[in-house]
A = this chain, B = another copy of it.
């Protein structure tokens, strides 16, 4: 690492004091135009950039934010994160990303870091703010100690959580409208004359999932239909989980008394689950949507190129990511208020729903 040029060297070469150089660096108005111009020339010539360390020492900021999420390999997080990184950079913030890998428990890193450990690491990195996407934050029962860690972190730096609000958590929230989209799917299915509708995928005990299941049941009972509890099969968020959930559903057909009771349509928690489910159907010689219609709650890229093309919800992740960053930055700048967002998932009707 070549030792960098310092502000005092720039000052010398420009024949001024460090304070004056510092002034042009932070474009303070009180510098004479000619000096300013000369100094700037020298700065450019030597390709000087101020030391982040020295700067940090005095104003205690890094211009870095931390983003903590479970699994960047999951398209939902990837698309959200992409926007976050981009908009943060537009505001001169770089993004430190932490992948907690708390997916299905089994994938935990060897050292057994807990999510709270990640909070601690982020704090040690002296980031100016923390953005949390999903993860344990979204559990139905958040351990007190976890909540405490969160609140404590928020006392040090602003913390924005993309997810459902938690009682007793002081962090800022950017909430998705979890129910509206599901309701739209249900209405769509009912309009298509489906009588028995199921729900597959999503981890039980996680609020993204339970909120959607609840919306699913509410929408149905509002229409005077009831849900067969056997038609709700939760598992997790990946293709293999859609595969296993659909298999469990189809296994019911073996029982004589439930033979004719299979759902004719199912709501999948996301596109990957939908794909896995379609795979499971195919393995039993069943076609989607002919034998069973499917619509998913979370559109992933290229879902429109699958066979069949997936009907799903566009959650407008670009918008969400942008809003989350805006919220974080405004909090970093001292604002207390929560930005209210207008998040409306959009039903993209394609083939898998049979419309």
Contact present for A98 and B85 (CB under 8 Å): yes
0 or 1 for each of A192-221: is its CB under 8 Å from B? (1 = yes): 000000000000000000000000000000
Given known pairs A73-B301, A109-B90, the reply for A85 and B56 (CB within 8 Å) is no
Asked whether A243 lies within 8 Å of B305 as measured between CB atoms, the reply is yes
Let me know if B275 and A156 touch, CB within 8 A: no
B71, B78, B81, B239: the one within 8 Å of A302 (CB): B239
Interface: A182 (CB within 8 A): no
In the complex, chain A residues 7-43 whose Cβ is within 8 Å of any chain B Cβ: none
A307 interface neighbour in B124, B279, B302, Cβ under 8 Å: B279
Asked whether any CB of chain B lies closer than 8 Å to the CB of A54, the reply is yes
Q: How far is the CB of A200 from chain B (nearest CB, A)?
A: 14
Number of identical protomers: 2
Is A97 an interface position by the 8 A CB rule? yes
Which A residues contact B (CB, under 8 angstroms)? Answer: 1-3, 49, 51-54, 56-57, 60, 62, 64, 71-73, 75, 78-79, 81-82, 85-86, 89-90, 94-99, 101, 109-111, 121, 123-126, 155-157, 238-240, 242-243, 272, 275-276, 278-279, 282, 301-302, 304-307, 309
What would 15 A/B residue contacts be, using CB atoms closer than 8 Å? A2-B155, A2-B156, A52-B62, A52-B124, A72-B85, A73-B82, A82-B99, A82-B101, A86-B101, A94-B98, A95-B98, A239-B301, A275-B306, A282-B307, A306-B306
